[in-house]
């Protein structure tokens, strides 16, 4: 149960997690600036648009970063990390990093830098850091799945160029609603213990995240992934969807992540039975399973 100091003359008000969740979503739907990250600055929205556009070229991304020293520094710092660094020496300059990573490698770094600087922020640093770490993992898993699993497998959707281009963004922002919910509870003066705040986020984060993603100008593909990644889980458990959506990709990445957390990354073998997938045709051969398992290990323990 949550208490709130309400300026209504009725003193302390009791509100259930469902009531609080509905209040937050309604506030966002009405266009209210419930929390700071609900409205991104113009240059951050431009960066998101470029990073997810199939028409953007390397010159566009590097040019944007050269005009934004903060984002450029963040991208270069990430490019020097163990996950991305290649070769004997880390990249010395932004252009050096861009040349090493290529366009497909630079896109996720730009998205991650924007998210860290403008989205995954707030006074609840520990909670936000946990959400961000999980979101980055899911983003990399989404990207790995679309790259390594054959597009025709089980009727998977990543032959769609929008999903292939925006897989990282779908994963990175799938839980952004949780950040919004935690910030909104604090902003509204709600007093909640950690368990209750999590319950509110569980109820509201998909709808809240989709509303915020739409406000930022993200594509329908990303918005659909944010809004539906939990609602589509039953279709995965029934043996695979008849029609795939971006939300299925995120749900699949989360299912793999949860399996690794429970059983360890070494539990993923070269046969479909060792994967948490009810439809083995997604991993149609041992080669695909081995490549994907190797990639998952690099994401979980870079």
In this prediction, residue 204 has a pLDDT band, given cuts at 50, 70 and 90, of very high
Residue 285 DSSP SS3: coil
pLDDT at residue 240 is higher than 70: no
The stretch 243-257 carries a mean pLDDT of 83
pLDDT at residue 283 is higher than 70: no
- For the segment 135-174, what is each residue's pLDDT rounded down to a tens digit? 999 999 999 988 887 665 555 555 566 777 899 999 999 9
Residue 22 and residue 35: Cα distance in Å, rounded? Answer: 15
| Residue in 70, 90, 74, 92 with CA at minimum distance from that of residue 82 | 90
Share of the chain above pLDDT 90, in %: 31
pLDDT at residue 250 is higher than 80: yes
Write the CA distances from 203 to 38, 50, 209, 275, integer angstroms: 18, 31, 11, 28
In this prediction, residue 285 has a pLDDT band, given cuts at 50, 70 and 90, of low
pLDDT at residue 192 is higher than 80: no
The stretch 14-35 carries a mean pLDDT of 80
The stretch 242-264 carries a mean pLDDT of 83
pLDDT of residue 47: 92
pLDDT at residue 179 is higher than 50: yes
pLDDT of residue 8: 36
pLDDT at residue 274 is higher than 50: yes
In this prediction, residue 85 has a pLDDT band, given cuts at 50, 70 and 90, of low
In this prediction, residue 24 has a pLDDT band, given cuts at 50, 70 and 90, of confident
Among the ranges 118-122, 140-144, 230-234, which has the highest mean pLDDT value?
140-144
pLDDT of residue 34: 59
Residue 56 and residue 52: Cα distance in Å, rounded? Answer: 8
Write the CA distances from 61 to 58, 80, 108, 109, integer angstroms: 5, 18, 11, 11
The stretch 102-123 carries a mean pLDDT of 90
- For the segment 28-60, what is each residue's pLDDT rounded down to a tens digit? 888 766 566 677 888 889 999 999 888 889 999
Residue 59 and residue 285: Cα distance in Å, rounded? Answer: 39
pLDDT of residue 6: 42
Domains defined for the chain, CATH in brackets = 24-300 (1.10.3210.10)
pLDDT of residue 78: 85
pLDDT of residue 9: 35
Least confident stretch, 167-176, 246-255, 277-286: 277-286
Share of the chain above pLDDT 70, in %: 76
The stretch 8-17 carries a mean pLDDT of 53
Greater pLDDT, 190 or 209: 209
pLDDT of residue 46: 92
pTM, rounded to two decimals:
0.85
């Amino acid at each position: 149960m949550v208490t709130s100091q309400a300026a209504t003359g009725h003193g302390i008000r009791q509100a259930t997690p469902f009531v609080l969740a509905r209040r937050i979503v309604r506030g966002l739907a009405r266009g209210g600036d419930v929390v700071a990250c609900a409205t991104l600055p113009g240059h951050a929205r431009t960066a998101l648009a470029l990073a997810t556009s199939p028409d953007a070229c390397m010159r566009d991304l590097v040019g944007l970063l050269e005009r934004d020293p903060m984002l450029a520094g963040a991208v270069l710092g990430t490019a020097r990390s163990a996950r991305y660094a290649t070769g004997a020496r880390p990249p010395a300059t932004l252009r050096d990093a861009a040349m090493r990573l290529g366009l497909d490698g630079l896109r996720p770094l730009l998205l991650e830098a924007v998210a860290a600087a403008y989205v995954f922020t707030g006074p609840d640093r520990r909670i936000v850091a946990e959400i961000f770490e999980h979101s980055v993992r899911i983003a990399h898993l989404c990207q790995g799945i679309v790259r390594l699993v054959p597009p025709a497998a089980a009727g998977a959707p990543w032959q769609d160029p929008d999903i292939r281009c925006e897989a990282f963004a779908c994963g990175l922002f799938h839980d952004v609603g949780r950040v919004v919910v935690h910030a909104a509870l604090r902003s509204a003066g709600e007093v909640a213990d950690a368990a209750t705040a999590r319950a509110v986020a569980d109820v509201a984060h998909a709808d809240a995240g989709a509303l915020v993603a739409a406000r930022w100008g993200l594509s329908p593909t990303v918005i659909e992934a944010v809004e539906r990644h939990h609602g589509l889980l039953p279709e995965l458990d029934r043996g695979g969807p008849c029609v795939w959506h971006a939300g299925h990709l995120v749900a699949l990445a989360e299912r793999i992540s949860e399996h690794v957390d429970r059983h360890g990354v070494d539990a993923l073998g070269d046969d479909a039975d060792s994967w948490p997938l009810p439809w083995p045709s997604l991993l149609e051969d041992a080669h695909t399973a081995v490549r994907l398992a190797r990639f998952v290990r690099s994401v979980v323990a870079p």
